Amino acid sequence: MSHDTARTDSTTMNPSLDQHRAPDEYDVVVVGARVAGAATALDLAQAGHRVLLVDRVEFPSDTLSTHAIARTGVVLLDRLGVLDAVVDSGAPPIREVAFHHAGDTTRRTIKDRHGVDFVVAPRRYVLDTLLLDAARAAGAHVLTGATVTDVIHDRSGRAQAVRARTGDGPVTVGARLIVGADGLRSRVARSVGAPVVEQHAAGGALHYAYFRGHWPAMEYYVGDHCSAGIFPTHHDDACIWVSTPAAVAEQVRRRSTDPTEALLAMIRDVSPELSERVVATTRTSTVHGQIGLPNHRRQSVGNGWALVGDAAYHRDPITGHGISDALRDAALLARAIDRILLGTYDEPTALADYATEQHHLMREIFDLTLRFVEFPPADRFVELQVELARAIERQAEHLTLAHLASTPR
């Protein structure tokens, strides 16, 4: 497959892809082209490696996400060279955060730290496409509309290729390393037998919709055993979300056949004020939601393979750090793979280092998430929010100072 062909015909099945490929056709095949996968491919392509990025959908494409990006993620988007494009897309830079609790409001301006003075909440169909396009521009081959059905192993058990189903028939593509960035229900993780090594109760529920209005700040409303918020995004819309225990969400949904009414009822339970603000605006989307959000992590590396993003671990989105996690871990994994391909580290050592550092950096916010999804009283929720803000600042500082900020680029 020629480089030029892949870049000009990357949103459909490329007719020059043969049914079988040699194991060394690519250095890396990345399965899943959303944030974690596209960022991994972008880093590796910029470092000069041969990368194929595969996804079952065509882009632009939306996905279930409240899509707020904390300072950690904004720092990493800037490092990847796509932050300006995100802002230019119409995602408003958010420079003020407001917390509403017990009738009081606390507002704070986002300070200039680690090179950024705002956060952002771009729609996923915009963000994912920008990262995918950047990876393509850096030299990654892109194959969309291709559903990976299996990872092929050699006789020693090493992952050596992926098999995919496309509109033009099955294809098999080989690579030195296979990366699974294909989400919570990762086909790669199942195919390589990556076990779940830590699992906690899935007791949370999240519902959201988009409403058009005046949204000058990112806002959080704290109630007893529930929370809600406003994430300003494109086109004067905001993602208005509410997080509740799963049992509460199920009860509210049973009482109402109208999803919008159910959403507003859950918001009213958190804050009648927020409910009134929302009712006075225009809803611009259907209601999205999920009940029973898992909190687990998988073994993230093995013989010829690695996992990143939700494929590696998933937690309730109540802490709003999922995109930042994905960008961080993509940088860590790309650094490890770069070392392997350059021969400066052996594969087992480099992948083990990735798994260790990824676990170390995810641990604090993962544990905070588990405390949030116990849905404590409002006073305790506010205390946890302060702890979360400090954890995010520590992580942003680590990523700014760490050597991963300049490698493998």
**Domain map of the chain by residue range?**
3-64+124-198+294-372, 71-122+201-291
pLDDT band at 174 (very low <50, low <70, confident <90, very high): very high
Residues 218-233 pLDDT 10s: 999 999 899 999 999 9
Report phi then psi at 321, rounded to 5: -120, 10
Does 11 score more than 90 pLDDT?
A: no
Query: What percentage of the chain has pLDDT greater than the value 70?
Result: 92
CB of 135 within 8 A of CB of 85? no
Task: Tell which CATH architecture fits domain 71-122+201-291.
Answer: 2-Layer Sandwich (3.30)
DSSP letters of 260-285?
A: HHHHHHHHHHH-HHHHHHHHTSEE-S
Residues 253-277 pLDDT 10s: 999 889 999 999 999 999 999 999 9
Residues 338-353 pLDDT 10s: 999 999 999 999 999 9
Q: Given this model, what pLDDT does residue 360 score?
A: 95
Can you give the three-state secondary structure of 192-257, one letter per residue? HCCCEEEEECCCEEEEEEEEECCCCCEEEEEECCEEEEEEECHHHEEEEEEEEEHHHHHHHHHHCC
pTM of the model: 0.93
Q: How many Å apart are CA 265 and CA 258, to the nearest integer?
A: 11
DSSP assignment, residue 374? Answer: T
Sign of CA dihedral 30, 35, 41, 44: negative
Plot region of 292 (φ>0 → left; ψ -120 to 50 → alpha; else → beta)? left
Q: How many Å apart are CA 173 and CA 160, to the nearest integer?
A: 9
Q: What amino acid occupies position 24?
A: D
Superfamily of domain 3-64+124-198+294-372: FAD/NAD(P)-binding domain (3.50.50.60)
Q: What are the tokens at 379? A: 């006073």
Going by C-alpha positions, the residue among 216, 214, 252, 218 that lies closest to residue 320 is 218
Q: Given this model, what pLDDT does residue 21 score?
A: 44
Produce one character per residue of 276-287: b if its CB has 16 or more CB atoms within 10 Å, e if not.
ebbeebebeeeb
